[in-house]
Amino acid sequence: MPSAEGAFSWQPLPAWLAAIVAFGYLSLLFAVAYRADRQARLGRSLTDAGWVYALSIAVYCTAWTYFGSVGRAASGGLWFLPIYLGPTLVMLLAPVLVRRMVRVAKEWRITSVSDFIATRYGRAAGLGRFVSLFVFVGVVPYVALQLKAIAFAFDVLTGVPEATAAGWWSDRSLWVAVVLVIFAALFGTRHLDVTERHEGLVAAIAFESVVKLAAFLLLGAWVTFVVFPGPGAIVEAAQARFGTAIAPLDVVDGLHYGDWAVMILLSGLAFLLLPRQFQVMVVENVRVGHVDRAAWQFPAYLLLINLFVLPVALAGRLFFVDVSLDPDTYVLALPLAQGQSLLALLVFLGGISAATSMVIVESVAVATMVCNDWVAPWWVRRRQVAELGHAEIAGTLLWVRRVVIAAVLACGYGYYRLTGESFALVSIGLISFAAVAQLAPAALGGLFWSGGSRTGAAAGIAVGVLVWSYTLMLPSLAKSGWFEAHWLETGPWGMVWLQPERLFGVEGMAPLTASVVWSLGLNTLVYVLLSLVFPPHGAEAQGARRFVRVESSAGAGGVWRGRVGVPAVAQVMARFLGEERTRELLLGYARERGLAAVEALEVDAAFVRFAETMLAGAIGGAAARLVLETLLEEATPSFDDVMHVLDEANQIRTYSRMLEEKSRALEEATRRLQEANEKLTELDRLKDEFISAVTHELRTPLTSIRALAEILADDPDLPREDRLRFYRIIVRECERLTRLVNQVLDLAKLESGHGEWQPEALEMRDLVQEAIEAIVPLAQEKQVRLEVSIEPGLPAVWADRDRVVQVILNLLNNALKFVPSGAGIITIRVGRQAAGEVAVQVADNGPGIPPEFIPHVFERFRQATGGLAKPPGTGLGLAICKRIVEHLGGRIWVESLPGEGARFTFTVPIAERLEPGNEGGGHDDEENPSGR
């Protein structure tokens, strides 16, 4: 077993090498971020993956984790753990808690944790300003801590306490800070609309998380398995050397279980609400679903990075037992002492990555916060902004952010240089944690309790901050020698009960625990009590309900009683979001509401809320509201009141809309009924007309028959000639009646679809000849010439024999009626029509059909007289023909010019096309038996 007892010396690495490696690494970071941004622009998101999201959350593990955990474990055993147990527990709740935050943030386009709180409490600009300022102040020491860690890492690696080496310009941590400002400004302020995520930034952070984990695991594995034969061996050696390997849980540094609980709570809250955590977890979240996977991926990361903390800590203690070496340096000192320069460099890089990732994200998050809460609202209020275009506005605001980023780092650096060595890494971090935790009652309460009000939140935070400053910040400043510390013991003005670290005389708690208990406790109490006394109202209540329920803002309608149109609002949006993006957003919004175009949108309460939310993504909630308020100036009775009125009016409107919809449905039903009724009436009228026509056609022959029969009966002495003439007429009229009755029945059968059809493959030639044979005697009687031409080789048609003959006969009879006696010519042509049809044409040289009558030719009881006396016939023949032809799948039409005869044509489909089972041909019958 190796032992370094009494042999403390290591070979430091040259300073230039450390500098090259560090800045080389930072260049790599630029490359990663640049590539991810490029990929994102090409539509291939690298960060749209659950594990990238989980890795980016690991920005939680800062240099404090990296160097401090081992330091902590070396002196306090398991005391390093609660800082990771808090986040682990929070992540177990992530599917409820974080998911909700993400969804709310996405819906309201929340840009930061201060925006989150301000938005929840009715776009409370003042509250947002206060929170962002407080967070800024609270975070600066934390940033300082990272810069210090970087300097510290350089010192350990190169063996030169550089802070004392030369002037400020030789301070490498300063140059690292400058590079970080450039990086954060480059990749953290790419678009004004922060809800358009920073892909490059997130990718770089995830990459850094991999680096620090890999480096730490490598170091841990090397220490545990190479330097020592295994974790058991380390524990045994420690027990042999120190009596106990790990300090008992309840008596570490005088800390107790209560301190554990408070620490877990504190770290959990900080994990949720630290600006950088909120940034990566909520603002940069690509998909809500990633939260669920991160719920186990991130705790797994924490487990891995803490896996070797205890072995390394014990190994360090064993190694440097006789040397008073800061345990925070163990991770670097161990490989250096063993001459493992490469490993030491890697560990150094891990530390750099842990520190830089924190600084980058934190500064970007704080910059967004400060810009949106302080600069943007103040700036957009100024008149001249109204004249600026999108490019100028976005450009200016982005530069504001960059300046704030630089300011954050400058403050951090200044703080670090001022406080110097007076702070332990851990204590700075915990002060920041306790500061951020003051936001928890307002933020988390606001997420789950719609009763939480602005007054309650503001007062709670104020009280919390006050108590935090008094019990934690001031004592720590005093202890580091900024001012006299004796009042810590005596209390201010000798009031012992106001002793900062033993407030109200309560003892037995560690200072941090006491501070957290008092500040967070009073904060929560004030928040709840004042919220109950001054409940939210108006827009605040509406926002509160929507936060808690995560309602969709798209659902609410309502009319904005303003004269401002959509184009005006769109113009304002375009100034902050850009023309193209605005158009996209508006179109998306319009589509969501089922409208085809942006022009169809109306400026209603929902639209204003939408515009406000979209603007909030770019310039923060407070500024967004101000912009819209200025635009919709006529709503002077204050936005809150208007929203309140709209809220109530909305409900009424929803009811009335429902009523309207109902009555519209009723109207629609009525209209349909009316239509059906009209149709029925029309059908009824047609039926009446038909019956009336049939009646007429029946009565007319009956009149002749009856008159003649009565004449015959009355006068038996009638001359034989007259008698015979009358008998003949009676017989003819009886035939006419019979024909009429038959045709009416035939038509009824055709129309009801009950006719008997026996379709088969037929030669049209046969059918035409059959019909002609039947008509020849009549034609001869009238001395009409029949001309027939039939195209040879016609395919068989698929039809009912009797019906087709009936149609041809009808047409021939019809023609015969109209052709002049003695000079009549009827032409019959049979040939192919369009694909798959055989056509029969019957043309005559009669008077033709008047053009106005042609459309009615095939209607029932429409007989053209052609100026002559009424032709014989029932007026049903052509109607029957039409129905037969159509039933067979053919067509029938007529062409005619007055004086030039009429030409009737009908078609019948050929058998090949319609005969069932024809496609398979006759082969089926032959194949089937052989197949079985």
Partner 1 sequence: MTKKILVVDDEENILISLEFLLQRAGYDVAVAHDGDEALAQAERFAPDLILLDVMMPKKDGYEVCRLLRQDPRHEACKIVLLTAKGRDIDRAKGLAQGADDYLTKPFSTKELLEHVERLLAPGTV
- Considering only 580, 684, 722, 926, the residue that binds partner 1 (CB under 8 A) is 722
CB of 704 to partner 1, least distance (A): 4
The answer to whether 517 touches 262, Cβ cutoff 8 Å, is yes
- Considering only 52, 204, 708, 878, the residue that binds partner 1 (CB under 8 A) is 708
* Residue 874 backbone dihedrals phi, psi, to 5 degrees: -90, -20
Residue 437 structure tokens: 């935790």
State which residue, 209 or 874, has the beta carbon closest to partner 1: 874
CA distance 60 to 267: 10
SS3 30: helix
834 binds partner 1 (CB under 8 A): no
Mapping DSSP onto H, E and C, the string for 830-874 reads EEECCCCEEEEEEEECCCCCCHHHHHHCCCCCCCCCCCCCCCCCC
CB of 826 to partner 1, least distance (A): 24
Residue 33's contacts (CB-CB under 8 Å, 6 or more residues apart) are 183, 186, 187, 200, 201, 203, 204
SS3 895: strand
State which residue, 533 or 731, has the beta carbon closest to partner 1: 731
701 binds partner 1 (CB under 8 A): yes
CB of 741 to partner 1, least distance (A): 16
- Considering only 39, 422, 700, 813, the residue that binds partner 1 (CB under 8 A) is 700
- The secondary structure of residue 715, as a DSSP letter, is -
Residue 122's contacts (CB-CB under 8 Å, 6 or more residues apart) are 454, 536, 538, 539, 540, 541, 543, 544, 640
State which residue, 612 or 697, has the beta carbon closest to partner 1: 697
Residue 693 structure tokens: 């026509």
Mapping DSSP onto H, E and C, the string for 570-599 reads HHHHHHHHCHHHHHHHHHHHHHHCCCCCHH
852 binds partner 1 (CB under 8 A): no
CB of 740 to partner 1, least distance (A): 13
- Considering only 170, 670, 865, 918, the residue that binds partner 1 (CB under 8 A) is 865
The answer to whether 222 touches 343, Cβ cutoff 8 Å, is yes
- Considering only 599, 602, 684, 710, the residue that binds partner 1 (CB under 8 A) is 710
685 binds partner 1 (CB under 8 A): no
CB of 738 to partner 1, least distance (A): 16
682 binds partner 1 (CB under 8 A): no
729 binds partner 1 (CB under 8 A): yes
* DSSP H helices in 438-510: 440-448, 454-468, 474-479, 487-490
Element counts in the chain: helices (H) and strands (E): 37, 7
- Considering only 98, 369, 705, 878, the residue that binds partner 1 (CB under 8 A) is 705
State which residue, 212 or 860, has the beta carbon closest to partner 1: 860
- What is the β-pairing status of strands 837-844 and 892-896? unpaired
714 binds partner 1 (CB under 8 A): yes
State which residue, 115 or 733, has the beta carbon closest to partner 1: 733
744 binds partner 1 (CB under 8 A): no
856 binds partner 1 (CB under 8 A): no
The answer to whether 548 touches 447, Cβ cutoff 8 Å, is yes
Stretch that binds partner 1, among 273-281, 448-456, 702-710, 823-831 (CB under 8 A): 702-710
The sign one gets for the Cα dihedral 223, 226, 230, 235 is: negative
- Considering only 711, 748, 778, 788, the residue that binds partner 1 (CB under 8 A) is 711
Share of the chain residues as helix, strand and coil, in percent rounded to the nearest 5: 70, 5, 25
The answer to whether 295 touches 92, Cβ cutoff 8 Å, is yes
The answer to whether 866 touches 849, Cβ cutoff 8 Å, is yes
CB of 827 to partner 1, least distance (A): 28
733 binds partner 1 (CB under 8 A): yes
CA distance 499 to 742: 120
The answer to whether 904 touches 892, Cβ cutoff 8 Å, is yes
CB of 756 to partner 1, least distance (A): 33
- What is the β-pairing status of strands 785-790 and 825-832? parallel
CB of 806 to partner 1, least distance (A): 26
State which residue, 351 or 701, has the beta carbon closest to partner 1: 701
- Considering only 869, 922, 930, 932, the residue that binds partner 1 (CB under 8 A) is 869
State which residue, 250 or 722, has the beta carbon closest to partner 1: 722
Indicate the helix (H) or strand (E) that contains 284: none
648 binds partner 1 (CB under 8 A): no
818 binds partner 1 (CB under 8 A): no
726 binds partner 1 (CB under 8 A): yes
CB of 720 to partner 1, least distance (A): 15
- What is the β-pairing status of strands 825-832 and 902-909? unpaired
State which residue, 307 or 693, has the beta carbon closest to partner 1: 693
Total residues at the site for partner 1 (CB under 8 A)? 28
Distance in Å from the first CA to the final CA of the chain:
87
CB of 815 to partner 1, least distance (A): 20
CA distance 896 to 184: 89
- Considering only 418, 707, 734, 823, the residue that binds partner 1 (CB under 8 A) is 707
CB of 700 to partner 1, least distance (A): 5
CB of 900 to partner 1, least distance (A): 21
704 binds partner 1 (CB under 8 A): yes
CA–CA distances in Å: residue 227 to residues 8, 224, 309, 715: 16, 6, 15, 149
State which residue, 385 or 718, has the beta carbon closest to partner 1: 718
State which residue, 706 or 785, has the beta carbon closest to partner 1: 706
Stretch that binds partner 1, among 415-423, 459-467, 721-729, 765-773 (CB under 8 A): 721-729
Residue 656 structure tokens: 């009335």
699 binds partner 1 (CB under 8 A): yes
- Considering only 702, 748, 776, 823, the residue that binds partner 1 (CB under 8 A) is 702
216 binds partner 1 (CB under 8 A): no
Q: To which residue do tokens 């770019």 refer?
A: 618
CB of 674 to partner 1, least distance (A): 26
Q: To which residue do tokens 């030169």 refer?
A: 160
781 binds partner 1 (CB under 8 A): no
Mapping DSSP onto H, E and C, the string for 212-230 reads HHHHHHHHHHHHHHHHCCC
- Considering only 653, 732, 832, 913, the residue that binds partner 1 (CB under 8 A) is 732
Helix axes 341-370, 172-188, angle to 10 degrees: 50
- Considering only 870, 920, 930, 932, the residue that binds partner 1 (CB under 8 A) is 870
The answer to whether 107 touches 553, Cβ cutoff 8 Å, is yes
686 binds partner 1 (CB under 8 A): no
* Subset of 50-79 contacting partner 1 (CB under 8 A): none
CA distance 513 to 520: 10
CB of 701 to partner 1, least distance (A): 8
State which residue, 739 or 913, has the beta carbon closest to partner 1: 739
756 binds partner 1 (CB under 8 A): no
- Considering only 571, 651, 695, 789, the residue that binds partner 1 (CB under 8 A) is 695
724 binds partner 1 (CB under 8 A): no
Q: Which amino acid is located at 908 in the chain?
A: V
- Considering only 696, 745, 757, 785, the residue that binds partner 1 (CB under 8 A) is 696
849 binds partner 1 (CB under 8 A): no
* DSSP H helices in 274-340: 275-278, 289-306, 309-319, 330-337
* DSSP H helices in 66-124: 69-76, 82-92, 97-108, 113-120
Query: Which residues sit at the interface with partner 1, rule CB under 8 A?
Result: 692, 695-708, 710-711, 714-715, 722, 725-726, 729, 732-733, 865, 869-870
